[in-house]
Amino acid sequence: MAERIAGAGRLKIGISACFMHADPARVLFTGKTLQYVEQSIAHWVMSTGALAVMVPSPTGATQRGDVTLEHYADWLDGLVLHGGADVSPLSYGEQPLQEKWSGDRVRDEYEIALVAAFERHGKPVFGVCRGLQLMNVAYGGTLFQDIATQVPQALVHRDAVVYDHNFHGVELVAGSRLASLYPESGRVTVNSIHHQAIKDLAPGFEVEAVSFEDGMVEAIRRSDRSQSWLAAVQWHPEFHLPGSETLDDAALLQDFLDAATAAKKTTT
């Protein structure tokens, strides 16, 4: 892992916010909109000494001041899009097949704008689970709204009973950047906690890993290396436990942080 550095030299990594929208029926925080990050993703980012910073949406009913996403993209060194609510089918030109798959379009619009801001500033973006799906949609791709419904022959990619202990095999695409990070591992085991998945890959991206049994896309990366660094995985590397059977998260995190370091040198 990267050498720990102190003070102003530490990388500052933004994490996109999860939304809990205002609900007058909720007992706590009645009628209030909450924005938050999961502890595991923040601790994952901080595990090498980088600073984790939640990027709140500056818009909303209580908006005050002149802070924009552009300010965060200019100040921070990289961005992580983490898991959470479904991506809304409306965000990729479809109607929800069922109401429960309507997703969170408010969060979609916020994160799409956030990715665009970081790209304008030449900063890397790494997506986790929903983050992969959002990245694909942001650049023109589409999703399966529900794997079990639309691809009935597929594996069970989300099991509420075992949750992050639902594992399956993933094949790393030979010659890809991801495969080069794990040169001894053509096939690996990952956790699987999603019911949506990439249907049509966004233009300008390449697949770096697929589910071994059913071919579902498990990792993507922008194919044009001359443009801003964009990559994502469908699993949750932050849930990896040392000594477990799942893919070691260290190389994935370091690759992203190396890209953030390079971007920082370029923009300072």
| Strand 143-144 versus strand 197-198 pairing type | antiparallel
* Whole-structure pTM value: 0.94
- Could you tell me the pLDDT band of residue 31, with boundaries at 50, 70 and 90? confident
In what side-by-side order are the strands of the sheet with 187-191? 51-55, 12-16, 78-81, 125-128, 230-233, 217-222, 205-211, 167-172, 187-191
The residue with tokens 């932050």 is 238
Annotated catalytic residue, options 129, 168, 194, 208: 129
**How many structural domains comprise the chain?**
1
Whether residue 3 is predicted with pLDDT greater than 50 in this model: the reply is no
- Total residues belonging to the chain: 268
Q: Is 192 a member of any domain?
A: yes
Q: Is 102 a member of any domain?
A: yes
Q: Is 1 a member of any domain?
A: no
Residue 195 appears among annotated catalytic residues:
no
Q: What is the CATH number of the domain that holds 243?
A: 3.40.50.880
**Domain of 251?**
7-267
Annotated catalytic residue, options 111, 119, 208, 238: 238
Could you report the per-residue pLDDT of 138-168, keeping only the tens digit for each? 999 999 999 999 999 999 999 999 998 999 9
The β-bridge partners of 198 are 143
Distance CA 165, CA 197 (A): 19
Report the half-sphere exposure of 107 (CA within 13 A, side-chain side).
Answer: 28
Residue 18 appears among annotated catalytic residues:
no
Across the chain, mean pLDDT equals 93
Q: Which two tokens stand for residue 250?
A: 């260290």
> Residue 268 has what pLDDT?
65
Q: Is 2 a member of any domain?
A: no
Whether residue 7 is predicted with pLDDT greater than 80 in this model: the reply is no
Annotated catalytic residue, options 82, 168, 236, 240: 236
> Residue 1 has what pLDDT?
45
Q: Which two tokens stand for residue 234?
A: 């469908």
- Could you tell me the pLDDT band of residue 24, with boundaries at 50, 70 and 90? confident
Residue 238 appears among annotated catalytic residues:
yes
Mean pLDDT of 88-111: 97
Q: Is 201 a member of any domain?
A: yes
Q: Is 254 a member of any domain?
A: yes
